[in-house]
Amino acid sequence: MSDRERMGRVVLVTGAAQGIGEAVARAFVKRGDLVAAVDKNAAGLDRLLAELNGEGHQAAAFQTDISDREAVDAVVEQIERDLGPIEVLVNVAALLRLGAVESLCDEDWAETFAVNVSGVFYVSRAVIRRMVPRKSGSIVTVGSNAASVPRMHMAAYASSKAAVTMFTKCMGLENAQHGIRCNVVSPGSTETEMQRSMWSDANGAEAVIAGSLESFKLGIPLRKLATPSDIAEAVLFLASDRASHITMHDLRVDGGATLGN
């Protein structure tokens, strides 16, 4: 079945109120899909929904904390009931807590894993339980190139992204027999509020592109940061029929920052 024939799919996007999640939501509605935008940020969801509906696109907003299992189960049930069968899930929601290991507090570690790992697990489990009887579906998890390369003061975030990368691959292996594909898109430094929160001055972008010997961080060979739409296009591809024979794949979108590793 071609992409055009499959337009109008129900696509659940977490973290849809801002950054990469918003770009992903916009990319899917522009191809004619119905997006269920999930986020904890109610104001951001209201803004997004008003803009998308005002442009004539199909979208619905669901304020949900994905670290709350009961809330996740309820919202997935609501989406399936009100919008239809979820054919695509994109796990984008995540948070960043910076700090050296010796100073990282318990709360920052726990919150990072509650959203970045348990949240992905809760949403994926709720959705895949419904995809299995239908023998079809696509799940894309937005990870990070930090999952494969150690980063200073990012132990919690990098570890959480390594966890969801392997979780998604295991989920893909288990469910290949059901025709369900599970893939990962791993961005590098991207123009988002999360990225800007790590900058110490107005030259933050230039410093990221150049890299740093002091922090053991490689620069970006393509000499530019990614945009949220760059990541969204990779997600769109992996969720499409053009990627019908791709599963358990980790697609790096980092301008070459991890040198293809």
Q: Taking 60 as the threshold, does the pLDDT of residue 5 lie above it?
A: no
Is residue 197's pLDDT more than 70? no
Average pLDDT of the residues in 30-53: 97
Model pLDDT for residues 198-213, shown as the tens digit of each residue = 646 666 667 777 667 7
Q: Is the pLDDT of residue 257 over 90?
A: yes
User: Are 43 and 68 in contact, with CB atoms under 8 Å apart?
Assistant: no
Domains of the chain, earliest start first: 10-251 (3.40.50.720)
User: Among the options 28, 122, 157, 167, which is catalytic?
Assistant: 157
Q: Is 157 known to be catalytic? A: yes
Give 145's pLDDT tier (boundaries 50, 70, 90).
very high
